[in-house]
């Protein structure tokens, strides 16, 4: 039996206190997400281990020696905007670009804000979406490639964003779209030594697979009370609160596959 896969978790935000107190921080949320998905696949509980790095306040990153030991990188979501010209975001973009270029064996998955960071790092852009929000469980119709990757025709995923990646960056393939945001996820392939296409260092459609209905409800209510999210948007998200959530059963399983969990003896 091989050892578990080790992932560098780049933490780009801290949940508000009421969410953190009940559901934990992002390292807890993502560990729970991947552990639950691994259990559903009959894998050992520690099939994936996450090492968290605070890239905001501490601007902490894995060293070159540590990167040699990792199987992948996971970039979390954030309340910040990926297009902001501030030091920690620019540093994160530069780090992502460097890792993708110099360490193609490391699979990079970006979650919402992380997806936008990967786009910036690899030739794309992130922009405001004209004030349009996507909040709560949202159906995302998939492209033929998306259907092949996820095994379903559409995903239902928890969303919480008004920024987006308006195009598909060079060398990426689109995986899913909605009427509000065209690029709901993308993937980039690279070739192995034999010329075969293999899963890349790139994001997959994963707005917020780590979010559950209680988390999104609290976040939506708080942001609506602050006037950040329009009342009508919050009301519509509340109407859809009980809709399906494919975060664990579909998306997290694909995330595990991207990182090689269940492959090569990790059982």
**Domain ranges for the chain:** 5-258
Confidence (pLDDT) at 266: 41
Task: Indicate if the pLDDT at residue 50 is higher than 90.
Answer: yes
- In this predicted structure, the answer to whether residue 265 has a pLDDT above a threshold of 50 is no
The string of pLDDT tens digits covering residues 93-117 is: 999 999 999 998 899 999 999 999 9
Q: What is the pTM of this model?
A: 0.94
Q: List pLDDT tens digits, range 66-78.
A: 999 999 999 999 9
User: Per-residue DSSP letters for the chain?
Assistant: -PPPEEEEEEE-----HHHHHHH--HHHHHHHHHHHHHHHTT--TTSEEEEEEE-SSS-----HHHHHH-SEEEE---SS-TT---HHHHHHHHHHHHHHHH-TTSEEEE-THHHHHHHHHTT---EE-TT--EEEEEEEEBPHHHHHHHSSSEEEEEEEESEE--SPPTTEEEEE--SS-S-SEEEE-EE-TTS-EE--SS--S-S-TT--HHHHHHHHHHHHHTTSS-HHHHHHHHHTTTS---IIIIIIHHHHHHTTTTSTT--
In terms of CATH architecture, what is 5-258?
Answer: 3-Layer(aba) Sandwich (3.40)
pLDDT of 195 higher than 70: no
Task: Provide the pLDDT confidence category of residue 193 given band limits of 50, 70 and 90.
Answer: low
Residue 263 has pLDDT above 70, yes or no: no
Confidence at 248, pLDDT banded by 50, 70, 90: very high
Mean pLDDT for 41-53 is: 92
């Amino acid at each position: 039996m091989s050892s578990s896969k080790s992932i560098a978790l780049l933490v780009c935000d801290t949940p508000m206190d009421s969410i953190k107190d009940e559901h934990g921080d992002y390292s807890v949320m993502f560990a729970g997400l991947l552990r639950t998905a691994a259990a559903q696949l009959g894998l050992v509980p520690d099939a994936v281990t996450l090492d968290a790095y605070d890239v905001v306040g501490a601007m902490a990153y894995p060293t070159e020696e540590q990167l040699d030991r990792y199987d992948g990188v996971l970039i979390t979501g954030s309340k910040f905007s990926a297009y902001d010209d501030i030091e920690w975001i620019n540093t994160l973009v530069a780090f992502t670009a460097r890792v993708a270029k110099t360490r193609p064996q490391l699979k990079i998955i970006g979650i919402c804000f992380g997806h936008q960071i990967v786009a910036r790092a690899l030739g794309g852009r992130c922009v405001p979406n004209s004030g349009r929000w996507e909040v709560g469980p949202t159906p995302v119709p998939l492209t033929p490639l998306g259907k092949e990757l996820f095994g379903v025709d559409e995903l239902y995923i928890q969303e919480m964003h008004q920024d987006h990646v308006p195009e598909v960056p060079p060398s990426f393939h689109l995986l899913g779209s909605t009427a509000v945001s065209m690029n709901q996820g993308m993937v980039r392939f690279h070739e192995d030594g034999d010329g075969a296409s293999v899963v890349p260092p790139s994001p997959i459609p994963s707005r917020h697979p780590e979010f559950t209905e209680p988390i999104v409800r609290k976040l939506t209510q708080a942001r609506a009370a602050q006037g950040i999210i329009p009342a009508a948007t919050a009301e519509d998200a509340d109407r859809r609160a009980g809709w399906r959530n494919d975060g664990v059963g579909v998306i997290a399983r694909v995330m595990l596959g991207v990182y090689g969990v269940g492959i090569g003896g990790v059982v």
